[in-house]
């Protein structure tokens, strides 16, 4: 007896899975990428003021500043293409409470690179071209910073509804402080009289604008940290953003004293303000650093928030350098060197993670909010 086996039909074909698109051009290139420019530039400018006289250090600092300038030019072009090609996404960024505060990074990137032209780039460019570049970048960055300091809080009040405080709230109000600290560097290159005095007076005004705004923002941020507990691991590095206005304000007051050498009490004011503020900055650095270590042990992976390890810490380095200049105390020199070593370590971690993300395409893949930008905040948009 012969058994006939019917032919078996082939198994149904599975639906083809389209490969994940890893890159998306500039559509998801947000303003937070300017943090990489700030973080790279501060490594060069802070290193230029160190008390160390290591062979090759000035050349390395100049190279890092030049790298920040190059990154700024490339990023400005890419962001312009973003606005031209994807205006819907650009408007969505402004209305997103997790992204809009990062527009402050544009101003800080312009002004910090501009100030670095006189601190780290002068030997390479020459005094005249360095002063011209610094003036152009400072003027543009200051105008952008003042617009952001008003515009982003306006959007937060009118369009955003955020129920819990975030360190990101500091980003729109820090730019005027960065302008205040970089502005006095331009004073020697301006004619004496009305022009120079107007610049320095404007810098004092921007110092007050930013300092008082920071005093409004920091208490709810600390209150949220105490009452709600540690933020999620990806958002933990954002706690270091509080160091930015602290260290930058000490740098600004030191720059005011340097710009007024004939005023006998200028250095005394710089020290009287800078020493206690830097003390609080070190306290915050210890607290935030401990929470970062805790988050790292719990599996914190790289996000763009790691750039918070750079510029905020760099402002503490420049603040310590100002205190060292005005007191002559070796302890401030030593503190500046230690903080600079921490800054370099943070920069290496951030730049390596960013390079891997850009090469693999994951950083520009989108869509979605900036990873870990808001943490546990509950957001409602009107």
Strands (E) in the chain, as ranges, are 160-162, 379-381
Residue 63: per-residue pLDDT: 96
Among 284, 265, 295, 257, residue whose Cα is nearest residue 375: 295
> Residues 184, 203: contact at Cβ < 8 Å?
yes
Using the 8-state DSSP alphabet, how is residue 381 labeled? E
- The domain limits of the chain are 31-364
Question: CA-to-CA distance for 202 and 113, rounded, in angstroms?
Answer: 20
Phi, psi of 380 (to 5 degrees): -130, 130
Instruction: Cite the DSSP H helix spans in the chain.
Output: 34-48, 57-85, 87-95, 104-119, 122-125, 127-158, 175-182, 194-228, 243-259, 266-297, 311-327, 330-360
Q: Which residues are CB-contacts of 160 (< 8 A; sequence separation ≥ 6)?
A: 95, 97, 100, 379, 381, 382
- Which tokens in the block code for residue 359? 């090469």
Question: CA-to-CA distance for 373 and 100, rounded, in angstroms?
Answer: 11
Query: 274-294 burial string, b = 16+ CB within 10 Å, else e?
Result: beebbeebbebbeebeebbee
Residue 16: per-residue pLDDT: 41
Question: CA-to-CA distance for 15 and 256, rounded, in angstroms?
Answer: 67
Question: CA-to-CA distance for 268 and 264, rounded, in angstroms?
Answer: 8
Residue 372: per-residue pLDDT: 42
Question: CA-to-CA distance for 229 and 213, rounded, in angstroms?
Answer: 24
- Which tokens in the block code for residue 32? 């937070």
Tell me the DSSP string of 147-194. Answer: HHHHHHHHHHHHTEEESS--GGGGTTTSHHHHHHHHGGGGGGGS-TTH
10-residue stretch averages of pLDDT, the chain, 382 residues long? 45 39 67 95 94 89 96 95 91 89 96 94 91 96 96 89 84 96 94 92 96 94 90 92 96 94 84 96 96 94 93 97 95 96 97 90 63 42 38
> Residues 43, 314: contact at Cβ < 8 Å?
yes
Q: What is the CATH number of domain 31-364?
A: 1.50.10.150
Characterize the bridge pairing of strands 379-381 and 160-162: antiparallel
Question: CA-to-CA distance for 133 and 127, rounded, in angstroms?
Answer: 10
Q: Which residues are CB-contacts of 148 (< 8 A; sequence separation ≥ 6)?
A: 103, 104, 106, 107, 172, 175
């Amino acid at each position: 007896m012969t058994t006939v086996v019917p032919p078996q039909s082939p198994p149904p074909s599975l639906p083809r899975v389209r490969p994940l698109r890893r890159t998306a051009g500039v559509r998801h290139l947000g303003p937070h990428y300017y943090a990489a420019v700030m973080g790279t530039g501060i490594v060069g400018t802070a290193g230029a003021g160190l008390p160390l006289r290591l062979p090759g250090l000035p050349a390395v600092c100049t190279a890092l500043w030049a790298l920040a300038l190059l990154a700024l030019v490339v990023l400005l072009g890419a962001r312009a293409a973003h606005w031209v090609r994807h205006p819907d996404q650009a408007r969505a960024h402004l209305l997103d409470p997790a992204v809009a505060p990062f527009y402050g990074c544009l101003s800080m990137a312009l002004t910090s690179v501009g100030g670095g032209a006189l601190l780290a780039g002068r030997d390479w460019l020459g005094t005249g071209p360095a002063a011209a570049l610094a003036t152009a970048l400072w003027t543009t960055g200051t105008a952008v910073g003042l617009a952001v300091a008003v515009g982003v809080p306006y959007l937060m009040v009118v369009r955003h509804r955020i129920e819990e405080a975030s360190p990101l709230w500091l980003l729109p109000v820090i730019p005027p402080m960065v302008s205040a600290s970089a502005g006095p560097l331009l004073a020697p290159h301006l004619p004496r009289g009305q022009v120079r005095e107007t610049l320095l007076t404007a810098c004092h005004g921007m110092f007050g604008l930013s300092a008082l705004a920071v005093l409004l923002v920091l208490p709810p941020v600390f209150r949220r940290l105490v009452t709600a507990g540690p933020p999620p691991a990806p958002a933990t590095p954002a706690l270091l953003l509080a160091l930015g206005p602290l260290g930058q304000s000490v740098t600004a007051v030191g720059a005011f004293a340097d710009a007024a050498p004939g005023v006998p009490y200028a250095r005394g004011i710089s020290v009287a303000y800078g020493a206690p503020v830097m003390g609080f900055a070190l306290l915050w650095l210890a607290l935030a650093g401990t929470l970062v270590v805790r988050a790292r042990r719990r599996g914190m992976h790289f996000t763009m928030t790691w750039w918070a390890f750079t510029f905020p810490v760099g402002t503490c380095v420049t603040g310590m350098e100002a205190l060292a200049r005005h007191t002559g105390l070796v302890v401030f020199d030593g503190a500046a060197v230690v903080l600079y070593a921490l800054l370099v370590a943070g920069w290496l971690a951030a730049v390596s993670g960013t390079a891997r993300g850009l090469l693999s395409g994951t950083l520009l893949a989108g869509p979605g909010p900036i990873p870990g930008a808001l943490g546990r905040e509950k957001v409602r948009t009107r």
